[in-house]
Structure 1
Amino acid sequence: MKIFRLILLILHVGILFLLLGTLLNAYVPPKIFPWFNLLSLGFPFLMISYVVLIFFWIFSWKKRAFVFMLLGLFFLNPVKRWINYSSDPKGTADLKIVSFNTRGGIMGRETIGKYLESQNADVMLLQEDRGTGYEFKGYEKANPKAILTVFTKHKVIETKLIDTTNEEIQSYGTQTDIEIRGKIYRFINVYLHPFKFEKEMVKLNGNTDADEEKVKNIVKKLVPTFKIHQDQVSTIRNAVENSPYPVILAGDFNSVPNSYEYYHLSEGLEDAFFTVGKGSATSFHDYKFPIRIDYVFSSKSITPISYKVDRSVDISDHYPVVATFSLHK
């Protein structure tokens, strides 16, 4: 029994160090060391394992349980980026936005159009809008590039691409300055370079050799994409930092919480889910494990009121994200 507990202790310490590695994404870019970013993908499973082992030590009447519980406080905020139970916010919402990767409308263009129209949002930011040609009465359309589209009930002052990557990469960022009730806000719509995984590519079937080859191929796709993201994040950060207006940054980041992308894109901004979200933030549902890759961030002068991942519809491999804000702090 002592040997078994020693093995579990070593395992627990190892998981602790792996979890600490995910925190280093705030400081270490993928081009220098991409493996910390790789760890962020496994954060939910590492955290669950860490908590299960704490309960084991508690039931074993071991004082080390309290040590691991104390160290676990380091991961309170990282956990809240995945699962959160915030109190009801104070204030009245006067801005509603929808951010949604429509997957090019292949799961039902008309159904998606009806859903978006029913939301009656002030601003809608669509990703992978591959020339679907949506038009909504009473909305102005900003579409400097076909893969990203913004619809708004308000006046568009200017819209342009902010992405400077190679056209072949097929990922973009746009900024759209919109006047709302006499004040201008900058909406940045993001679709970071995708990993382009098919379900079969990530599904392990129990065949040791085949599964090992799949894992190698997954890593071969992940690491170069992390490095591409680093350049794209830098470009988007410039758009945020140089904005003369308050910013709302939203879209499909193709990155999980606690990743390099998350830490650096959210810098100086407020994660609406972290502030007012409840339940799970999982927004991509094509695989059988929790993945949050859709976000809404805002300047500190814009107050988040509510955040919802709308799981009532299944019209894309992403769920729509609906957030409301108060523009008067």
Structure 2
Amino acid sequence: MFAGLFFLSPVKRWINFSTDKKESADIKVISFNVKNGVMGKEELQKYLVGQEADVILLQEDGGGNFPMLKDYNKTDSKKGLTIFTKHKILNNKEIVLDENEILPAIQADIEIKGKVYRFVDVYLHPFKFEKDMITLTGNTDTNEQKMKDVIRRLIPTFKKHQKQADLIYQAVENSPYPVILGGDFNSVPNSYEYYHLSSGLEDAFLNAGKGSATSFHEYKFPIRIDYIFSSKSIRPVSYAVDRSVRLSDHYPVISQFHLGRK
């Protein structure tokens, strides 16, 4: 029994069956790594417009324009991360580790219904694995070399993630406002990145998700690397991975929140 309880929480970060929430939703948030829109920029924009979300967190957006989202306010980042919102943006900021590195996060303080919330859009450094790099063959020597190549990529990326996660955690910890943090963490739910960045926050999937949280479908095995977390004063009402669209190698992650909790 104790062993089952010990493993229950890690499993629920991948597969969960939460009960329906009684609270009404005040806002809808989408987090989506759009892979530079290479699978169809126009179709992507139509999808985002049709969702009618209050806040959209995009990763790998290519730094381009989204003319169909002209009615949204947005941050001015041109480095692959953008926050769109129907509401007023009071402040925005890039969270920079190194000017020569990929931008790991941006933040925007947004006024919603007379109260300010900090939204943090995350894109941790990618591992840049290609399918053939992790696909094993019948050749032992080839497989051994592939494993060595994977390890060579893992170690420096983990070091970058630790520094990036520390900076992002500070933006959350020092926020004078309730926080919603989402994005592509390039890390699984039992990782340092997950534990560190979710510290003091609630995983919307754990609270309101049903079924599988797998969000990256490029490989044949399930991977959850996209998340939405929130301060405890913001209650998740629903959480879904939208597998109805294939506009990227990621699925969009969608969550609704009730803001009235004290």
- Shifted more, 246-255 versus 168-177: the winner is 168-177
**CA deviation profile, 1:65-104 (whole Å, cap 9, x unmatched):** xxxx532321110110000011111200010011000000
Which of 144, 155, 167 does residue 88 from structure 2 map onto? 155
Paired residues, what number? 260
Say whether 1:141 aligns with 2:106. Answer: no
- 1:107 maps to what in 2? 39
Between the two proteins, what is the percent identity of the paired residues?
63
Q: How far has the Cα of 1:137 moved from its partner?
A: 3.4
Contact 1:144 1:159 (8 Å CA) reproduced: no
Say whether 1:286 aligns with 2:214. Answer: no
Q: How does 1:194-233 map to 2 (within 5 A)?
A: 194-233=126-165
Q: How far has the Cα of 1:248 moved from its partner?
A: 0.2
Say whether 1:181 aligns with 2:121. Answer: no
Q: Which amino acid aligns with 1:115?
A: Y
Whichever of the two has the greater Rg, that structure is 1
2:47 and 2:145 map into 1 onto residues whose CA distance is 41
Gaps of 5+ in 1: 1-68
- 1:3 maps to what in 2? none
Q: How far has the Cα of 1:207 moved from its partner?
A: 1.2
Q: Which amino acid aligns with 1:171?
A: L
**CA deviation profile, 1:267-294 (whole Å, cap 9, x unmatched):** 0000000111000000000001110000
Say whether 1:243 aligns with 2:208. Answer: no
- 1:167 maps to what in 2? 99
- RMSD over equivalenced CA pairs, Å: 1.0
Contact 2:63 2:77 (8 Å CA) reproduced: no
Q: Which amino acid aligns with 2:78?
A: K
Say whether 1:92 aligns with 2:24. Answer: yes
Secondary structure (helix, strand or coil) at the match of 2:42 reads helix
Moved over 4 A (4+): none
Change (3 A) 1:218 1:81: same
Say whether 1:297 aligns with 2:229. Answer: yes
Gaps of 5+ in 2: none
Contact 2:79 2:103 (8 Å CA) reproduced: no
Contact 1:286 1:317 (8 Å CA) reproduced: yes
1:106 and 1:132 map into 2 onto residues whose CA distance is 12
Q: How far has the Cα of 1:223 moved from its partner?
A: 1.5
1:317 and 1:75 map into 2 onto residues whose CA distance is 29
**CA deviation profile, 1:101-157 (whole Å, cap 9, x unmatched):** 000001111111110010000000000011231131321111323310011000000
2:237 and 2:5 map into 1 onto residues whose CA distance is 26
Higher helix share: 1
Q: Which amino acid aligns with 1:100?
A: F
**CA deviation profile, 1:207-258 (whole Å, cap 9, x unmatched):** 1110110011111111111111000110001000100000000000000001
2:83 and 2:75 map into 1 onto residues whose CA distance is 5
Contact 2:208 2:238 (8 Å CA) reproduced: yes
- 1:123 maps to what in 2? 55
Q: TM-score, normalised by structure 1?
A: 0.77
Higher strand share: 2
Q: TM-score, normalised by structure 2?
A: 0.97
